[in-house]
Chain A
Amino acid sequence: MRSPTTPEEERQKRLRLKSGDPEAFAELFREQQPGILNYIYRLSGGNATLAEDVSQQVFMNFWTHRNEYDLDKPITPLLLTMARNAWLNAAKREEYRKTSELKEDGASGHDRGLERRELEKAIEKSLAALEEPIREVFILSRYHEMKYAQIAQMLGISVKTVEARLSRALQDLQKLLKDFL
């Protein structure tokens, strides 16, 4: 996606992963963890504890089962899928639900423009306000740069559905953000 690595370097990385190189794992973690963390954070409507737990769990699972995965395929969608499944499991448990609300950040930002903070808040809120299936598609497309087909495959839905949901998401967001447009 964003890394300027060549396919050959990517392949080397996967080989090292498969052979159990902890350095390769650390590298993978550093590269991918922020993405996974943010994905779960957004997916769950802003639950940081859950996001932290799930992302840790995903990487440990990945490490344990690294030999079972087809490492010729890109890793990001795989990790995202794992994260999604882990989240679905975790979300069933009650304790996470309780904390699932957007938290105010009290600490920093007092020196920042009021308008700006309002905008940031509005962006967060509007994303969290989307219905879950729609939000999921939007997150994958907007923040993980996944194509319709990739999203469809990952979520097990049709491309048409992805297309419709993303369009719906953008239109809903537009309404939610109308004061800022």
Chain B
Amino acid sequence: MDMDCKGTADLTTKVLSGNGSSQDEAQLRSHVASCAACAAAERRLRKTWELMGQLAPVTSSAPVPALPRVGFFTNRRKLVAAAAAVLVVGATAFALFRPPTPAGPKTPLAVQTSPEESRPDQGEEENRLLDRVLTKIEIEKTPEQAAPQNPPTPEATEPKPVVEKTTTPEPKPTPVPPVQEPKETVKAPIPTTRPEDKTPTPPAPTPVVQPALPVLPVIAVLDHVEGDVVAMLAGKKGPANAGAKLASGDWVETTSKTGQAVVEFSDGSRLVLGAETLVEVGMADGKRVSLKHGALAAQVARQPAGEPMIFLTPLADARVLGTRLSLSVNAASTRLEVREGKVKVTRRDDNNSVEIGAGQFVQVSKGSSLTPKPLTTVRVALHETFDRPRWGGAWMQGGEANLGLRMAGENGSLSFKTSQKPQADNVSGGKMPTDAGEIARKAVQNASALSTQTKKEWPRMAWLETRQAFPFSNEMPLKIRTRCWNSHNDPDRVTWFAINRGLAGQGLAVERRGGSLQLWVEGAKDPVWKKDVATAQEWETLELWISKDQMVVRLNEETLYTGANPLKVKAGALALGVNAKMELAQDEEVRFDDFDVLLTTKAELDEVAR
């Protein structure tokens, strides 16, 4: 242990609160990587920190206090400015208490200047300042521009109208009555005011909000938000908060790998949006949910007769009257799983349809057969494709990254690669000092001819570890799957994945050593199992299935090993961490493509174990 476990809480706090240096972060990471207790503690603290970020802000009805000065609002333009400007108060209050999002999307503000303002006025500083205030308020709503490339649902294709803030009557009390002076006509009756963003928590005296323009009825509420979530509300895109009210045509998107959101309709029907998912809600003879991309799970309350809830995806539509289901889409297919009730699925291009009952799923793609199949996988706990360098969120990384080993997402996969020669600055010190790193550093310092270094003297190791832990049981075994490729089939050691790394008797690794596939328990002298397999330098799919009693290793969909769970602690409550780790010599590369952790069923494990 290179760090006292007692310091973990302090260090974690420091890092979470943005007071930690990169060194602090590295120290914390390397420690929690090797200490399960601290890893758990760190996770709990992190979760606490995040939870506290959901604290609802209080809002105030307080107007700008009147100042002891004559002529506060002397001319009419000022009056308009002041009246309209109060509009932004609520929004500011809300933005303040949002937990910091690293690359949080900004609300698109298209500044529009009216001809009146550009007129060369008295040219006074004061007026210029005033113009600045005015332009800030005249927000042109441009939903199409801000929307992602996915086309909106048919019922929402018409562009949302431009509405000027200045034409909206003041919803909050101000020291002076607002002046009705529309500069441009409102082009359509889409209101700019909606009772959104009013958190219910504060006991602050709330004035009666009286929007004069009709407000689209609220059909659903954003009930829960986790990670980066963006919403388009009444044509205004911005970070989404729990409690936001959704009307027809509004959409919600979870933009990161860790994002999650729950949408609840007024009848209690709930949609749980997975990571990187975009959903648009609507109302037309029943609820409409348009899944543009990503995945969702839904619990649909009994719908009124003749008004089914319809899920629209690019390839197929699903009509439900009350059920539990999950739905996921990608460019080529739509997958629908039904837990309860019945759902009718219709493929768009040929209008073929099929009814999917409880415990069944169907995969709809162009020309595929629409036969329902029994459900096997219960839930995807982790799905990582490494198709863009965004895996930082769900993963922790470590290893000799500064010592000539590069870990990067590229060409849709994750590459671990040793360089031919270490860069000069690698000599000065690794980011993650470990024994292996120390050896490597010395080797580099002493080496006159690097090429003479054998791989044994110059090991490289890096790992990527999920921040999550995955519980499993006999009833719900885990299936861990990855596709991987190895440039050299190094007989010395490559680990495809490891579980609970660093814990003797509790850790497990599936390793490929040249032409041999092996299963190791941490701390043991010999592998639990080994088998010679072909060393073809092609992508291979490796699976590890684990339940409380059983373990299965599969290569390219073929079961190679079935045995008892060899771990010391195998109670049903045991949680797993998953690693991708290897050691490499110079100029070698290992690539990972998909990395999935799936919660599966006993029946399926029995099936593959045979």
Contact = CB atoms under 8 A, between A and B. Distances in A.
Q: Please say whether chains A and B are actual partners in one complex.
A: yes
Given A48-B202, A56-B65, A170 B58 contact: no
Given A22-B67, A34-B92, A105-B201, A166 B13 contact: yes
B204 A52 contact: yes
Contact of B264 (A4, A51, A113, A120): A113
A4 B106 CA distance: 10
Contacts of B221: 111-112
A177 B552 CA distance: 38
Interface string A25-37: 1110111011101
B469 interface: no
Nearest to B136: A27
Contacts of A138: 52
A174 interface: yes
Interface in B12-60: 12-14, 16-19, 44-45, 47-49, 51-60
Interface in A1-57: 2, 4, 16, 20-27, 29-31, 33-35, 37-38, 41-42, 46, 48, 51-52, 55-56
B349 to A, nearest CB: 38
Contact of B54 (A35, A119, A181): A119
A163 B16 CA distance: 12
For the residues of A in contact with B, the DSSP-based class is: helix
A145 interface: yes
Contact of A123 (B16, B52, B59, B85): B52
Contact of B13 (A16, A21, A24, A170): A170
Given A48-B202, A55-B62, A181-B44, A123 B96 contact: no
A16 B129 CA distance: 10
Interface residues of B, number: 64
B350 interface: no
Contact of A145 (B59, B93, B100): B100
Contacts of A29: 64-65
Contact of B48 (A4, A124, A147, A173): A173
Interface of A: 2, 4, 16, 20-27, 29-31, 33-35, 37-38, 41-42, 46, 48, 51-52, 55-56, 59-60, 63, 103, 105, 107-109, 111-113, 116, 119-120, 123-124, 127, 138, 141-143, 145, 147-148, 163-164, 166-167, 170-171, 173-174, 177, 180-181
Contacts of A59: 65
Contact of B82 (A26, A41, A120, A170): A26
A127 B10 contact: no
> Which A-B residue pairs are the 7 nearest by beta carbons?
A34-B93, A108-B200, A103-B203, A109-B200, A167-B13, A174-B48, A26-B64
Contacts of B54: 119-120, 123
Nearest to B270: A113
Given A148-B19, A166-B17, A170-B13, A33 B62 contact: yes
B242 interface: yes
Given A26-B64, A123-B51, 12 more contacts: A2-B96, A22-B69, A30-B64, A33-B62, A34-B60, A37-B93, A108-B200, A111-B221, A119-B54, A141-B19, A174-B45, A181-B47
B305 to A, nearest CB: 23
B203 A34 contact: no
